[in-house]
Amino acid sequence: MGSAFFAPRSLLFAEQKENDVGFIRNAARTREQIEKAAVDAKKKSLLEKIEKVSYQDILNSPDDILLNYQYAQNQVAQNNLLGAAATLERILLIDPSLARVRLFYAVVLFRLDNWNESRRELEVLLEQKDLPDSLRAEIKDYHGRIKRRIRRTHLTLRQSTGFEIDTNRNAAPSSKKRLFASSLLPVDGTSARRRDTSLLAITTAEIRHDLGFQEGHEVFGSFTHFLQEQTQVDSLDLQSFQYDAGGVWKPGWFEFTPRFYASNIFLSRETFLRSQGGSFNLSRNLGRRVNVYSESRIERQDFSDITENTTAHERTGNYFEMEHGASFAAIPSMTLNAGVLYGNKRAKADYNAYERLMIRLGHSWLLPKGQFIVNGVDLGRDVYDEPEMAIIARVRRDNAIRYRVTYGAPLETLLIGKILPKPLKDILFTFSYEYYRSLSNITNYTYRNNKFQAMLTKKWDF
């Protein structure tokens, strides 16, 4: 007879349910990394260098307008925006009628958050009568962006839709056997490894309000709805609602971001977890290349029993997490980051309580034309407090590795972008591959999964 006859289904599904909760948190972190890379790649694509020019070249030909223009592009590529602004000012002193140079100057001011000066330069351009239609449209686009930026309250709506393939959606053990009451039982039937596909939909609405201080202090709030509909394994359909509120305080030499949130997670359309918590992030730039950060998070997790997991309430408890790390811009188009995380989970049943130690490594690479690649590796170890006697009289210890790589590009960069109408060209396409491997001293929790994901994301700013 199969293991489903001997073991309660709650034991068979408990681990996968806990993994799904972690999947939502990991997906949120990944979305933030991708969003940042997409924004940075778009900025880079607006001002990509054409030809390398040295300062010595400028000294040799200080009045060469084309050479100075190329030098300014090089400065932007090196993230030296102040230097680029000075170079472009010199060109405009020589010839104020150069519309393309003045637009470039306005864009650099825009990147420096000097919106009033940038708007003035754009308005000078709009007064000219003989501008090409394409150039006038670009000027109006930036003028509109600045008008939105100057507003103190900003609303952003983001919709992501995609498709996913998992090779082991239900986290079936690699050994094809599962321990129950210290006995090894075969994994078969619906408990065997199951490949599955799913549809993903993520909707996020965010509002930010500038408090009016010169330093840029602000408050924010957001709502995120996450939906994953499985094709075959309906018991693993996933849905969550999360509400966030917080602020950003910028006293000058560091940035402090407190965030408070509440979430409700459904599995197979049943409430599985309600959580409330807060995170507190401190970060500081050390020069133009290095940023260091420290983040703490504490939350209350209330698990509810569901049809296929009647012991979920035993996981209820508090969770604390602390992470320290740094990011380093090796070159203007490439950033490396590393962090160390400590987590501590308390639970009603001590065999669900654990301590976690994790090393996080990341890499982002901005490519031409708004493309980017984001890599991430998590190396973690969980040590549980007590053995789960219903499985085996052994304290559980898990080692896990998660590697994820994402390629992203706006549709206008890809071949399909040439035939799309303009409102669709700014849609972001991403393709991700994720490898997850768990190694445990209890065979139930040793498994691997490969995940492939393709997403389309559209963003609206109001």
Number of helices and strands in the chain (H, E): 9, 16
CB 183 within 8 A of CB 216: no
CB 312 within 8 A of CB 301: no
Sequence-ordered list of residues with C-beta below 8 angstroms from that of 149, at least 6 positions apart, any chain: 115
Structure token pair of residue 367: 């490519």
Which string of DSSP letters, residue by residue, matches 290-324?
A: EEEEEEEEEEEEEE--BTTBTTGGGG-EEEEEEEE
**Best CA proximity match to 63, nearest among 51, 52, 73, 71:** 71
For residue 422, the one-letter residue type is K
Where are any strands of DSSP class E within 385-446? 397-410, 428-440
Calpha distance 335→331 (Å, rounded) = 7
Structural domains of the chain, with CATH: 3-17+153-461 (2.40.160.40), 47-150 (1.25.40.10)
pTM above 0.85, yes or no: no
Which string of DSSP letters, residue by residue, matches 313-355?
A: GGG-EEEEEEEEEEEEEEETTEEEEEEEEEEEE--SSGGG-EE
User: How does pLDDT run along the chain (462 residues), one tens digit per residue?
Assistant: 333 333 444 444 445 555 555 666 667 777 777 877 777 777 666 555 445 666 666 666 767 788 888 888 888 777 788 888 888 888 888 888 888 888 888 888 887 878 788 888 888 888 887 888 778 888 888 787 777 777 788 899 999 999 999 999 888 899 999 888 889 988 887 778 889 999 999 999 999 998 888 788 999 999 999 999 999 888 888 899 999 999 999 988 899 999 999 999 998 889 999 999 999 999 999 987 899 999 999 999 999 998 878 888 999 999 999 999 999 998 878 999 999 999 999 999 999 999 999 999 999 998 888 889 999 999 999 999 999 998 999 999 999 999 999 999 988 888 776 677 777 778 999 999 999 999 999 999 999 999 999 999 999 888
**Best CA proximity match to 118, nearest among 136, 137, 102:** 102
**Best CA proximity match to 48, nearest among 370, 373, 413:** 370
